[in-house]
Amino acid sequence: MNKQGKLVVMDHPLIKHKITLLRDENTGTKEFRELVHEIATLMAYEATRDLPMKDVQVKTPIQLCTSPIISGRMLAVVPILRAGLGMVEAFINLIPGAKVGHIGLYRDPVTHLPVEYYCKLPADIEERDIFVVDPMLATGKSAAAAINFIKERGGKNIKLLSIISAPEGIAVMQEEHPDVDVYVGVVDEKLNENKYIVPGLGDAGDRLFGTK
Ligand code: URA
């Protein structure tokens, strides 16, 4: 039987507090980047909770003991360009052995469908647990398309992490990728006519990279 994915809304005071600061239009680029990094660290902590462990022997200055380490599958983090880049360092700080793939998508002006313009994944992606990161889960179409590309290249065990989500994006993920666990910091009210999340935080890429 196929695995059934879950939706985890990360209802933690630290995450809620930091999301409020992130939303504030007066939060500048430096602080915005730091907050995204901090929230991604907290989300990575939760999304890696079920990693398998095994016992090893370790000699402390006092004596030899048995103690657990992470075992089994290797990890990959895949940011959706460009805002997803803001969440990568949190993962590789916590898990230095994780490989980083990149997926770039643009929206076709005629069909409005996401088109891949860049995709570079670790060669052994099918053997890795994969964390797809994008701070905003808005329509869900980019995330769903990115995960399609990963699956086409053999990726199987996939989780999506987004800081702010819209109900529409969650519905698309549950419809198109019911096997994928979705971790979000908060579920906002809706999308506006320009497909921005309301109340959201504006354009995450512009706020991360100071391009507005
Ligand atoms: N991408 C963003 O950066 N912001 C939104 O509100 C929606 C998509």
> Ligand 1 centre and the CA of 60: distance in Å?
49
Q: Could you report the per-residue pLDDT of 82-92, keeping only the tens digit for each?
A: 999 999 999 99
The whole-number average pLDDT for the span 86-110 is 92
Q: Which residue has the tokens 């004596």?
A: 63
Among the atoms of ligand 1, which is closest to the Cα of residue 207?
3
**Residues carrying an active site annotation:** 107, 111, 203, 206
pLDDT at 109: 74
The pTM for the full model equals: 0.94
Cα of 196 vs centre of ligand 1, distance in Å, is 5
pLDDT of residue 2: 63
Residue 5 pLDDT greater than 90, yes or no: no
What is the reported pLDDT for 57? 98
Q: Which amino acids bring their CB within 6 angstroms of ligand 1? A: 83, 136, 138, 196-197, 200, 203-205
Position 107 confidence tier, pLDDT thresholds 50, 70, 90: confident
Q: What is the pLDDT of residue 103?
A: 97
For the chain, give the mean pLDDT.
94
**Separation of CA 194 and ligand 1 centre (Å):** 9
- Nearest Cα residue to 207 out of 45, 89, 36: 36
Ligand 1: which residue has its CA nearest to atom 7?
Answer: 196
Ligand 1 atom nearest to 200, measured from its CA = 6
Q: What average pLDDT does the segment 101-123 reach? A: 88
Closest atom of ligand 1 to CA, residue 191: 6
pLDDT digits (tens, 9 = 90+) for 159-201: 999 999 999 999 999 999 999 999 999 999 999 999 999 999 9
CA 168 to centroid of ligand 1, rounded, Å? 13
Give the list of residues 6+ apart from residue 212 with CB closer than 8 angstroms, or none.
Answer: 202, 203, 206
Q: Provide the percentage of residues in the chain whose pLDDT is more than 70.
A: 98
Q: What is the pLDDT of residues 131-170, one digit of tens each?
A: 999 999 999 999 999 999 999 999 999 999 999 999 999 9
The minimum-distance atom of ligand 1 relative to the CA of 197 is: 6
12 alpha carbon – ligand 1 mean position (Å):
22
- Does 11 have pLDDT greater than 60? yes
Pocket test for ligand 1, best of 23, 196, 201 (most atoms within 8 A of CB): 196
Q: Which residues contact 179 (CB under 8 A, 6 or more apart)?
A: 2, 3, 4, 5, 158
More confident residue, 71 or 29: 29
- The whole-number pLDDT of residue 3 equals 73
